[in-house]
């Protein structure tokens, strides 16, 4: 049996859909079963569990052979994933597929964004656990851009501190498709997959592609990191997370992230979604009346 974690999150919701569509039997660990049932539908087999309460993990992992491990970006990431890894070893889980990030590969100029060492710590713990493992390392999600939809709809612009740095965006649905193939397939033990779309893009290029897709001019406006951090604080983003996001922007601005990886096509056998395709599909989300609605998934 497969157990997926983070099922109500950005990646997990799409992974749940992939597994349901493929007719793959699986269970989803969630903190709130009622809320999750409303989100995911009655056909998903739910089990209650919380990374911060290891006793709940023991029950949730009973009878599980393969586990998809994902945790939210907080200072507790390595501790929470450590709790799950320890419980998985005790439960006899055979293979853990961990969602990590491209940033763990290093090679960026210092200072390193705060979340990368946490993911690296967790990857190391998993590698030493004795269980088979696969690391999925995506670049930034294309769907992150949807959070700019209200600004783009309102003033035709979005703001950030990436400078001219480029990054290998990936569609979350491709990440989910890879995860489903790895969980269901064979031969992925001890593999590490970098996951990006077909090209690394600067924010000016992203703006150009959004302009082409929407038929309205979209501009990227670069602002100092303090302005980005204050704006995030104003929107209620927790201080640690805002710091992590600004640090990622700074590392991309300094360069060294202008790379693409072929994990999506290697694992799924089809090319990854391009930003042009993504922008065309989600163009209505950047129109004034759509931007008021909730983020499309
Ligand atoms: N965003 C990007 O561009 C990007 C790029 C590369 C890598 N990543 C990595 O992706 C990961 C985040 O993935 P995501 O965006 O899918 O996550 P997300 O949307 O933040 O969702 C987090 C999930 O974890 C669950 N969760 C939170 N605390 C939990 C706990 N104590 N016990 C059990 N479950 C818990 C949440 O459940 P509830 O519904 O109960 O809250 C939710 O399902 C991070 O590790 C990040 O580094 C992100």
Look over the chain and give the mean of its residue pLDDT values, rounded to a whole number.
Answer: 95
- Residue 16's pLDDT band (cuts 50, 70, 90): very high
Range of the structural domain that residue 8 is part of = 2-138+172-195+260-268
Per-residue pLDDT tens digits for 49-84: 999 999 999 999 999 999 999 999 999 999 999 999
Which residues on adjacent β-strands are paired with residue 50? 53
Task: Give the helix ranges, DSSP H, for 138-255.
Answer: 149-155, 172-184, 203-214, 225-234, 239-254
Q: Is 47 helix (H, G, I), strand (E, B) or coil?
A: strand
Any domain includes 33: yes
Any domain includes 225: no
- CB of residue 140 inside a 6 A radius of ligand 1: yes
Any domain includes 214: no
Mutate to test the pocket of ligand 1, among 4, 9, 141, 206 (most ligand atoms within 8 A of CB): 9
Contacts of 11 (CB under 8 A, 6+ apart): 70, 99, 172, 175, 176, 179
Length of the chain measured in residues = 297
Q: What is the mean pLDDT of residues 154-174?
A: 97
- CB of residue 238 inside a 6 A radius of ligand 1: no
Region of poorest pLDDT, from 38-47, 142-151, 284-293: 284-293
Which residues on adjacent β-strands are paired with residue 47? 29
Any domain includes 149: no
Question: Please, are residues 166 and 257 in contact by the beta-carbon 8 Å criterion?
Answer: yes
- CB of residue 99 inside a 6 A radius of ligand 1: yes
Any domain includes 18: yes
**Considering its fold, how many domains does the chain have in total?**
1
Mutate to test the pocket of ligand 1, among 57, 70, 103, 245 (most ligand atoms within 8 A of CB): 70
How close is the Cα of 139 to the center of ligand 1, in Å?
15
Per-residue pLDDT tens digits for 255-279: 889 999 999 999 999 999 999 999 9
Any domain includes 148: no
Q: Whose CA is nearest to atom 33 of ligand 1?
A: 50
Measured between alpha carbons, how far apart are the two ends of the chain, in Å? 27
Higher pLDDT, 291 or 245: 245
Any domain includes 237: no
- Residue 111's pLDDT band (cuts 50, 70, 90): confident
- What CATH number corresponds to the domain at position 134? 3.40.50.720
Any domain includes 154: no
Mutate to test the pocket of ligand 1, among 7, 50, 61, 71 (most ligand atoms within 8 A of CB): 71
Q: Which pLDDT does position 106 carry in this prediction?
A: 73
With pLDDT > 70 as the criterion, what percentage of the chain qualifies? 96
Asked whether the predicted pLDDT for residue 295 surpasses 90, the reply is no
Asked whether the predicted pLDDT for residue 172 surpasses 50, the reply is yes
């Amino acid at each position: 049996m497969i157990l997926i974690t983070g099922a109500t999150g950005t990646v997990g919701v799409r992974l749940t859909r992939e597994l349901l569509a493929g007719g793959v039997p699986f269970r989803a660990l969630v903190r709130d079963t009622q809320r999750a049932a409303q989100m995911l539908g009655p056909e998903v087999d739910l089990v209650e569990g919380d990374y911060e309460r290891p006793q709940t993990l023991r029950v949730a992992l009973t009878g599980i052979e393969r586990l998809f491990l994902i945790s939210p970006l907080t200072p507790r990431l390595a501790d929470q994933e450590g709790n799950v890894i320890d419980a998985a070893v005790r439960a006899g889980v055979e293979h853990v597929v961990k969602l990590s990030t491209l940033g763990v590969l290093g090679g960026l100029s210092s200072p390193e964004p705060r979340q990368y060492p946490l993911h690296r710590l967790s990857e190391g713990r998993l590698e030493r656990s004795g269980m088979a493992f696969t690391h999925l390392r995506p670049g930034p999600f294309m769907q992150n851009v949807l959070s700019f939809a209200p600004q783009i709809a309102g003033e035709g612009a979005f703001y950030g501190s990436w400078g001219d740095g480029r990054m290998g965006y990936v569609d979350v649905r491709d990440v989910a498709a890879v995860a489903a193939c790895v969980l269901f397939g064979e031969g992925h033990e001890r593999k590490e997959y970098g996951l990006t779309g077909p090209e690394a893009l600067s924010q000016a290029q992203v703006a150009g592609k959004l302009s082409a897709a929407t038929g309205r001019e979209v501009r990227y406006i670069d602002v100092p990191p303090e302005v980005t951090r204050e704006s995030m604080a104003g929107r209620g983003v927790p201080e640690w997370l805002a710091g992590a996001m600004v640090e990622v922007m700074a590392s991309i601005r300094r360069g060294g992230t202008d790379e693409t990886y072929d994990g999506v096509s290697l694992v799924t056998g089809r090319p990854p979604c391009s930003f042009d395709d993504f922008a065309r599909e989600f163009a209505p989300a950047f129109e004034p009346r759509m931007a008021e609605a909730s983020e499309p998934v």
